[in-house]
Amino acid sequence: MSTAIAPSQPARAAAPDVIPALGQLSVAALIALVLDGPEPAAEVLRWSATLARLPFWERRALGAAGLTRDHGVPASQALRLAALWELADRWFPDERPAIGSSRDAVLLFTSLADAHAETVTVLLLDGRYRVLGTEVVAVGGANVARLQPRDVFAPAMRRDASAVVVAHSHPSGDATPSGDDRRMTALLREAASVMGIPLLDHLVVARRRWHSFARSDGWTDTPGWTDDDRDSLY
């Protein structure tokens, strides 16, 4: 007569000694908890502290690929975070800022003011001019000189952007546009018209001042966009 053997029970993960009160945790601690459990590794704490300093719309706009590309978060953990933020986006109202003027846009490019090399960045917007993300498309004088409209509009097509704002830095501190800046703006405007993705503005960002082509040249493609007549000081 054989003896019945009771089926083995699945192993249970050891419960943490202390269950944290989630409401008392910082944003960085919550991100670390999602990524690596109640006792996150030091590396995870570093990622989490960096991500916590970003506004929600910017963290959300990164997506899994951006978390890995820009912040070195491993793909599996990046996907976990992106999924969490996708759920948050579905459960709560969209808090991404809507961009309605040149000044609204330039406030998202303030990091360019301290750039040591000439840098071109494109701001990607959805149909309501809410931020989808930003992407650096050229760094360094030689690369900027070789910039083509396709370099600017390729990210827009990948992200299904409905409109873009382009900004580039002048490390010299002088926001006055050059002849090359004006020629590039004309090329970008022409490409935007052909592709059906409006170029709302081209901004030149210097340390203390900025220049808006839409405002200075009186672009009328987007009603209301150039109505902001405040000064060009930060």
Q: What is the pTM of this model?
A: 0.62
pLDDT tens digits in sequence order for the chain, 234 residues long: 444 444 444 444 444 555 567 778 888 998 999 888 888 999 999 989 988 888 776 777 788 888 898 888 999 999 999 898 888 777 876 667 788 899 899 988 988 988 889 999 999 998 888 888 899 999 987 778 788 999 999 999 988 898 999 999 999 989 999 999 999 999 999 999 999 999 999 999 998 899 999 988 888 777 667 666 666 665
Residue 17 lies in a domain: no
Same domain, 202 and 133: yes
Number of domains forming the structure of the chain: 2
Last residue of one domain, picked from the residues 91, 124, 144: 91
pLDDT of residue 58: 75
In order, the DSSP letters of 92-108 are: S---PPBP-SHHHHHTT
In contact, 81 and 67? CB cutoff 8 Å: yes
Same domain, 169 and 210: yes
Same domain, 156 and 78: no
Last residue of one domain, picked from the residues 91, 121, 136: 91
Residue 67 lies in a domain: yes
Residues 6+ apart with CB under 8 A from 34: 80, 81, 84
CATH (domain of 137): 3.40.140.10
Same domain, 57 and 143: no
Residue 38 lies in a domain: yes
Range of the domain at 194: 102-227
In contact, 132 and 61? CB cutoff 8 Å: yes
Residue 6 lies in a domain: no
Last residue of one domain, picked from the residues 41, 71, 91: 91
pLDDT of residue 224: 63
